[in-house]
Amino acid sequence: MTAPQATGREPEQATGQATSQLGWHRVLDWRPGSPWARAAIVLLLVAPIAIAGTMMWAMWDPSKYLRNIELAVVNHDAGVKKRGEYTNYGDQVVEGLLKTDYLNFAEVSEQEAADGLTRGKYMLVVTIPEVFSQQATSLTSDNPVRPEINFAANDYYGTNASFITASLVPQVQTKVENAITKKYADQILAGMGRMSDGLTAAADGAGRLDEGVAKLQEGGGRAVEGIGKLDDGATQLADGATTLAAGTSRLGGGIGELSAGAGKLRDGAHELANGTDRLAAGTGQLADGAGQINAGVAELTGKLIPLLEQAQAIAPQLAQAENTLRAAGLHAQANQVADLRAKLDPASGTNMVSQLGRLRDGTAQLHYNLSDPSAPYLSGVLALQNGAHRLAEGTDTLGAGIGRLADGATQLDAGAHKLADGAGALSRGTGQLRAGGAELAGGIGKLKEGSGELSTKLAEGANKAPHIPHPDKSAEQMAVPINFTSTNLHPVQTVVSETDPTAKQITGGVSMLAVMVFGFLLMLLVALLLPYYFGRIPPRSALSVASAWLTKTAVNAALLLALAGISAAAGWSPHKWGLVIVALLATAAAATAVYQLFHVMFGRLAGGAFALGFYALGVMVFGGVWPILAVPAFLRAFHFVHPMTYAKDAFVVATDGLAGGFGAAAFWGPVGALVAFTIIALGISVAALRVRGRAAASVQ
């Protein structure tokens, strides 16, 4: 009995297997039979490609829309007055930004910039602080400070605006840095120019000093020559006196023979005594003049030598300046600096300090010979004076024996002539000495004037030269002249590490992406998963559509509130939670109605594809992900006919607390637009279902 039972089951099993194989065969061998099915398949295949292509087109090169994007600059710079000249670097930066053709900058007040940034009028606000010029001119000060400029943005009006600012901000930074770097270069070059002028003036002063020293040397030579001639005259005078003494010795045996010339001898002797007195008096006057010269030279050298010795200390610095000028190609100025350094170099035997020392010693020696009774010259003059007076006394004594002095009188006359010649030579020598002294005084005056001018010009050159007390800090400031800071009203993410720019943290600005972008996406999924009407009755009445709409609206509102809670956990803190809830409810109602309309009009499959495309279009044109002015004009036209635009506007106004006073229209206007989208979409859905219901009834 077992076998027949088994045999009875085999046909049933075979039939089941055949039926199963036939079902899978139908699934695998299915072909779209109606045009609507084929169109739906094509739409499902083409829609993602079309959406992706449209998004790539919209984001291909947003930088070309920079001329359309409004940018603001706020200048608080108070300027600075330096070296008697007022400068405002902030004005120059603003002028440079306003003159940039491809950037649409406008200079506005701080309040206008803040309002425009909050309301999305300006994508970027550049703020120049009050102390900008003061810090910019601190390059060569004791405490150089790098000036700051702030860039402010608002991610609520374009979370992907960084793609634009990534190319915009460096251009703005370059404009600003170029303006400041040029001013830094102007300061350095102006300082070098002033230093060059100071060195040129110092070189001129050194040249005049050199001329004065040359004339001083020439006058000193003439003084020495005059002194030599004076010495020769004194020698001749001594020889004549010796000859006269010999003649007077021979007068002892011939007094009688001198009777005729006794009177002349007496007169000549007295005249000789008077002449020696005048010679001694003249020598005293000459000694006084020499003393004054010596004192003046000593005082002058006492002032000049320390000054020049101090000036010698800059010889190494002049060598460095010479090398710097030669490296810069300024060979003429370098040669002037080299000549000045040679005159100041302590190692040179012909430096001005050594020459002034020899001048001081020479004038001291001259004063010694003319004023010291123990000196050879003055002692000779005094001895001559004493001898002449003794001679006069002797001639008086010889008055009684004038006859015996007749023979000696002739010899005495010859000696007197020689003495007269020597005295004349001495007189001419002293005249030349006096003239040389005058020239010496003039040369010394020019030397003093030139040295004073040299000291003054060197001091002026040092003061005019750029003084940089902290080269390292100043070099860092020149390398990076501006410290650019950035702020964001609603940043999506912020950098949390100063050393790692890739370490970022999600912040409250993500609420725009979470609530708007992901919210509309989740509401799209809800529309695809839930039917567009509830109940068994045909969907011909408003009640069947409204019941489905209310159910999905409640689900969507819950989703949006959940996303808002997630955003709040990330740091989002709206000013008006009540208005935020109103905006989210209006958004849920409008999105549900529009997605339901696509479902009603085109069915679940094609309607879902249209809804997906409508969502992708909204992401591109609603202005929360991509700045509206940075999308192509064709897509920009859909900005005002998409519910995501008005949902974003109401959401931003509620978040920033702009709904009070004038802002009431800014909030209730978008909410009213969402209500209008809801009513229109529901009305079209109900009308379409009624038309279809009537058509179905007429067919039956």
pLDDT higher than 50, residue 600: yes
Q: In whole numbers, what is the pLDDT of the chain averaged over residues?
A: 72
Tell me if residue 152 falls in helix, strand or coil. Answer: strand
pLDDT higher than 90, residue 118: no
For residue 440, CA distances in Å to 212, 218, 284 come to: 10, 8, 20
Q: Which of the four pLDDT bands, split at 50, 70 and 90, describes residue 11?
A: very low
Which of 678, 539, 670, 694 lies closest to 120, judged by CA? Answer: 670
570-594 mean pLDDT: 92
Question: With helix as H, strand as E and coil as C, how does 424-484 read?
Answer: HHHHHHHHHHHHHHHHHHHHHHHHHHHHHHHHHHHHHHHHHCCCCCCHHHHHHHHHCCCEE
Residue-by-residue DSSP string for 88-110: -HHHHHHHHHHT-TTSEEEE--H
Question: With helix as H, strand as E and coil as C, how does 273-322 read?
Answer: HHHHHHHHHHHHHHHHHHHHHHHHHHHHHHHHHHHHHHHHCCHHHHHHHH
107-117 mean pLDDT: 91
pLDDT higher than 50, residue 20: no
**pTM of the predicted structure, to 2 decimals:** 0.53
d(CA 342, CA 345): 5
| pLDDT for res 632 | 75
| pLDDT for res 454 | 64
Instruction: For residue 31, give every residue at least 6 positions away whose Cβ sits within 8 Å of its Cβ, in sequence order, or none.
Output: none
77-100 mean pLDDT: 82
Q: Which residues pair with 74 in a beta bridge?
A: 127
Type of residue numbered 445: G
The model's pLDDT over 623-641, given as tens digits with 9 standing for 90+, comes to 877 777 777 777 788 889 9
The residue that leads in pLDDT, 607 or 201, is 607
| pLDDT for res 368 | 76
Q: Which of the four pLDDT bands, split at 50, 70 and 90, describes residue 276?
A: confident
Rg of the chain's alpha carbons, rounded to an integer? 57
The residue that leads in pLDDT, 643 or 194, is 643
| pLDDT for res 646 | 94
- Phi, psi (degrees; rounded to nearest 5) at 137: -90, 10
| pLDDT for res 479 | 47
pLDDT higher than 60, residue 503: yes
pLDDT higher than 70, residue 67: yes
| pLDDT for res 10 | 45
- The 10 Å CB-count burial string (b at 16+, else e) for 394-427 is ebeebeebbebbbbbbbbbbebbebbbebbebbb
156-183 mean pLDDT: 62
Q: 441 near 295, Cβ under 8 Å?
A: no
